Structure 1
Amino acid sequence: MKRLPLSLAVSLYAGSAFAQTTIQSCDREVTFEAPPKAAVSNDVNLTEMMLVLGLRDRMVGYTGISGWKTLDEEMRDGIAELPELSAKYPTREVLIGADADFYFAGWNYGMKVGGEVTPETLAPFGINVYELSESCIHIGDKLKVSMEDMYRDLLNLGRIFAVEDTAYDLVAAYKLELDRIRSAIGDVDRPLKVFVYDSGEDKPFTAGRYAMPTALIEAAGGINVLDDFEKSWSTVDWETVVDKNPEVIVIVNYGTVTAEQKRDFMRNNPALAGIDAVRNDRFVTLEYVEATPGPRNIKAIRKLADAFWGE
């Protein structure tokens, strides 16, 4: 039998494999004729999903990292050869100017409902969008957040970029590590009550039922005291936090206000002095990239489990 040249065979295989590959993205179905070649990701956690799948060579840049001061040394090495196209949310012109053919973002992770950068506004310019699963609550109903949201995104990216095996292996490894953590924790008679403090002094910005920390806390043997708060990331009043009386406070570290400053604010606020977590000085810090959906979620669960139950 006559054999095709290897390069031609690979090309034909890649083309046939991607005919009408359809991915569910929030409430939309997105069809890809071929893997993207000029992708842009927004925010540090979404960019890390791209990097952990080995997709740096398929990217023309990233957005929304330095403006929020979320870049650390580990991440800096990963994106060393990529340009940051916008310090915060990109404009439509930025993405078009980069000749992007794919934008990995989410609602309030690079896109705003009714904003100038949405799947609908980018489609006429040949830019497909895949939306972060956690963020879908901003445009419709979704199930409570879970680790499956993060796994789904990795597996969908694997299909989109034809790196399914890499994605499946990563997700399998994450699930195995999570099983080990849960086994080490053992049976929990009563989950610890946990509050997530992101930012804000007049009113705290926190994680509700649909934000990733809720899933991380549950996996570590706790419960978000705002599990009944039908929001993703949003504000509440301090009276609600006092009434919930959390036993542990998770601080999200990023931006110009440090985790230590956030702790000091809570420790020195007389209105919060009676909260069990403050009274017993039980704080644990998660970096922004750990608290949002992405490859560092498993590390975050281990950190929380150690803080909740001891190593």
Structure 2
Amino acid sequence: MPSHVHQPVKHATYLTLLLSGLLANALYASDDRPYYPIQVQSCDREVTFSHAPSAAVSNDVNLTEMMLALGLQDSMVGFTGVSGWKTLDPTLRNGIGELPELSPKYPSKEVLLGADADFYFAGWNYGMRVGGGVTPESLAPLGVKVYELTESCIHIMDKPKVSMDDLYNDLLNLGRIFNVEPRADALVRGYKKALADFQSQLAPLTKPTKVFVYDSGEEQPFTSGRYGMPTALIEAAGGKNIVDDVQKSWTQIGWESVIDRAPDVIVIVNYGDVTAQQKIDFLRSNPAFSDIPAVKNNQFTVLEYVEATPGPRNIAAIKQLAKAFRNAP
């Protein structure tokens, strides 16, 4: 997930666009007009759908799980970007059935055209790169509509700090796009209730637990900043991301910052060729890290990639983090 230069758009503009989309939806729902066409806000674009996609492709394990959670398998022709990053999860494998993986990493335009795709659910650094060959603009002339993952919008525009609303927004928008709004509404209501019920029973912390997210990298750690989903998960569980002042979603930082900010808990993101245990062993074996409270007290907790990125596993991830924070000294 390489970093990119942001192209600022004011928060007010983002919120105005979002509200205008919601208003348009309310107007369509209030009379007897046909459901389509509808307009959905995707990052800084308003996308019009004249019908439900019938040949959808999703990129990455977490976005694919969102599609499955909404029961959209029959509207899909495949998925991309899972096996190449070694993020395939047994639950996903069971859920997708016979759907093929069209590309192990990011797909090309040719891959999407070869599948006769009419819809691509992806994000910036989740299947698309700024300035790359596969973008909403490059796919539009080919008849492929794109909906962008809300968390990833920070790569092309300014947006508010990440929150669970980013996930909810994507699920509700997918519900609108595929005309399964009641299903999406029920799913989001269920997630919100499950989280509220869990938080209401949590033992309070005297102060937020200081948390560092370790994704990968030895020379420089790759981590998640203010706009990455782990920050929302950590805060919902009663913690504070030690780099939530870093104006990025996923990015590299220096080890000096980690040492200076002394996290109480380190969250290991598990995927790829280096196992979670190998990442823990690296942290524990390096003398430079020996005084970090999390390392000294062996306070590591592991999240699978699919749990740490926006998707249906986020509520379970919050519960796991909350338990880890309350077990920390």
State the TM-score, normalizing by the size of structure 1: 0.94
Equivalenced residues, count: 297
Aligned counterparts of 1:45 and 1:305: Cα–Cα separation in 2: 21
Structure 1 portions without partners, runs of 5+:
1-13
Q: 2:118 aligns with which of 59, 80, 101?
A: 101
Aligned counterparts of 1:177 and 1:269: Cα–Cα separation in 2: 40
* Residue 252 in structure 1 maps to residue 269 in structure 2: yes
Are the counterparts in 1 of residues 62 and 306 from structure 2 also a CA contact under 8 Å?
yes
2:78 alignment counterpart: 61
Are the counterparts in 2 of residues 209 and 229 from structure 1 also a CA contact under 8 Å?
yes
Amino acid at match of 2:227: Y
Q: 2:102 aligns with which of 64, 85, 88?
A: 85
Amino acid at match of 1:55: L
* Residue 32 in structure 1 maps to residue 52 in structure 2: no
Aligned-pair CA distance for 1:185: 1.6
Aligned counterparts of 1:243 and 1:267: Cα–Cα separation in 2: 17
1:11 alignment counterpart: none
1:47 alignment counterpart: 64
Aligned-pair CA distance for 1:186: 4.1
1:213 alignment counterpart: 230
Amino acid at match of 1:76: R
Aligned counterparts of 1:187 and 1:23: Cα–Cα separation in 2: 39
Aligned counterparts of 1:252 and 1:115: Cα–Cα separation in 2: 26
Aligned counterparts of 1:214 and 1:238: Cα–Cα separation in 2: 19
1:17 alignment counterpart: 35
Deviations, residues 177-222 of structure 1 (Å, cap 9, x unaligned): 1112211224333100000000000000000000000000000000
2:175 alignment counterpart: 158
Structure 2 portions without partners, runs of 5+:
1-31
Query: Secondary structure of 2:200's match?
Result: helix
1:309 alignment counterpart: 326
Aligned counterparts of 2:125 and 2:271: Cα–Cα separation in 1: 16
Query: Secondary structure of 1:36's match?
Result: coil
Aligned counterparts of 1:86 and 1:80: Cα–Cα separation in 2: 17
1:3 alignment counterpart: none
> In angstroms, what is the RMSD of aligned CA positions?
1.3
Amino acid at match of 2:127: G
Please show how residues 139-218 of structure 1 align to structure 2 within 5 Å: 139-218=156-235
Are the counterparts in 2 of residues 15 and 34 from structure 1 also a CA contact under 8 Å?
no
Deviations, residues 3-30 of structure 1 (Å, cap 9, x unaligned): xxxxxxxxxxx992112x0000000000
Deviations, residues 135-185 of structure 1 (Å, cap 9, x unaligned): 000001010000000000000000000000110101001001111221122
Aligned counterparts of 1:54 and 1:304: Cα–Cα separation in 2: 28
Are the counterparts in 1 of residues 205 and 326 from structure 2 also a CA contact under 8 Å?
no
1:242 alignment counterpart: 259
